Amino acid sequence: MALRNRGGVWHYRFMLQGREYSVTTSLAATKRNETTAQGMEADHRKALLEGKRGIRRIVVREFSDAAKDFLDWAKMEYRAHPNSEKRIATSFASLKDFFGREPVSAIDEARIECYKTLRANEHKVRNVTIRHDLHALSKFFAYAIQQRWAGENPVRNVKMPSDKDAVRMHILSAEEEKQYFNRATKYPNLHDLGRLILNQGMRPDEAISLRKADVDLERGQIHIRHGKTPAARRTLNLTTESRHILGARSKGKSEWIFPSKRKKPSSHVTRVNNAHDELCKKALEDKITFSFVLYDFRHTFATRMAQAGIDLATLAAILGHNSIRIVEKYVHPTAEHQKDAMARYDKTLQLEQSEGQTKQ
């Protein structure tokens, strides 16, 4: 085994059947990487002796340059799901800043752990943000392997925050709901959007993207026509308040329920979010703190439905999820709920026993 340190990178060279093979591993010339580099040389020898192709040669690319190519690819790959592409791009703002000009193939688990530490301790981001960053980085390495910028995906060996730790969720109390919507009357779009999400459990972008053609007031239904999965494309039955809101908003010439000068619905979501932030800021001046985001209206809807005894399969269908597991996070049964459930079950058993005795 003939490893050589060239410019801080492990290279190897060997002779086989009168021919010289000289290859860079693209691994940093550290003691930690020495065994891996030796293994790459051994694999190369074995492949040649077995008549197979030699190992794929790694192309050295700096992370910042490789990231540009990856983000262009992601824009194409996720063109049907712009929110996913946007989330990846957001994560890469900090990833590019951290990894900079490091060779992609030299990034290992230790460096990624350093990134996690930076984000948590210095940037003070939540676990859910770190989880999004690591998922984006994992997608990058899958692409990098295809492009021969890396030989493996080191993110697989890094512990991610669990689903439970990563979920940032706030369930509104009755008092918070009252205080918020009393102030939201000054922001008509924000008020009506919030009420629709809270009544119907829609995602904010689903509500803001509603067209009048999606609303059937006669049948009391709205149709969510776009979504990542078939489950997301669904029909919802309207509450009484939702029918009043949509009936009032169906008047006028615009095709949109929430009309605005926009090319994309996402731009209007930003404006509504800004209105939410302004409301929260003004409430703080009155010593009232609203520490939640628009999406928490959906979380609140789901939790209230679960606590009301709606079965998970039905709740998943209403929320537009294709898995019951996803909606389990909304179920937080209290001791009183459990006691009531057992009382109802006991009543059912007694009724069945009584009917059985009557038939006898």
pLDDT tens column, 83-98: 788 889 999 999 999 9
Q: Calculate mean pLDDT across residues 257-279.
A: 74
- Specify the range with the lowest mean pLDDT, choosing from 250-254, 276-280, 336-340: 336-340
Side chain identity at 216, as an amino acid letter?
D
pLDDT for the residue numbered 262: 53
Identify the structural domains of the chain with CATH numbers, from first to last: 3-49 (no CATH), 63-166 (1.10.150), 174-330 (1.10.443.10)
Q: What is the pLDDT of residue 67?
A: 96
**Most confident listed range (29-33, 164-168, 260-264, 286-290):** 286-290
Instruction: Give me the mean pLDDT over the 6-27 stretch.
Output: 78
Q: For residues 1-24, b (16+ Cβ closer than 10 Å) or e, as one string? A: eebeeeeebbbbebeeeeeeeebb
Across the range 128-151, mean pLDDT stands at: 91
d(CA 200, CA 207) in angstroms, rounded, equals 9
Confidence at residue 2, expressed as pLDDT on a 0 to 100 scale: 76
Q: Is residue 74 over pLDDT 90?
A: yes
Residue carrying the six token digits 């392997």: 145
The residue ranking higher by pLDDT, 153 or 164, is: 153
Cα separation, 345 vs 354, whole angstroms? 14
Computed on alpha carbons and rounded to an integer, the radius of gyration of the chain in Å comes to 28
* Residue 5 β-bridge partners: 10
Query: What percent of the chain stands above pLDDT 70?
Result: 91
Residue at 260: amino acid letter: S
Contacts of 22 (CB under 8 A, 6+ apart): 11, 12, 13
pLDDT at 219: 95
User: What distance in Å separates the CA atoms of residue 310 and residue 193, rounded to the nearest whole number?
Assistant: 24
User: Shortest CA distance to 170 belongs to which of 38, 318, 332?
Assistant: 332
228 or 241: which leads in pLDDT = 241
As to burial, measured by CB atoms within 10 angstroms (0-12 exposed, 13-18 middle, 19+ buried), residue 149 is buried
pLDDT over 60 at 318, yes or no: yes
Verdict on whether the full-model pTM lies above 0.85: no
Residue tagged 């049948």 (tokens)? 219
- Reply yes or no on whether the pLDDT at 129 is more than 70: yes
Residue 261 has a pLDDT of 65
Distance, CA of 236 to CA of 309 (rounded, Å): 19
> Does the pLDDT of residue 267 top 60, yes or no?
no
Half-sphere exposure of 316 (CA within 13 A, CB side): 15
* Closest by Cα among 58, 61, 22 to 41: 22
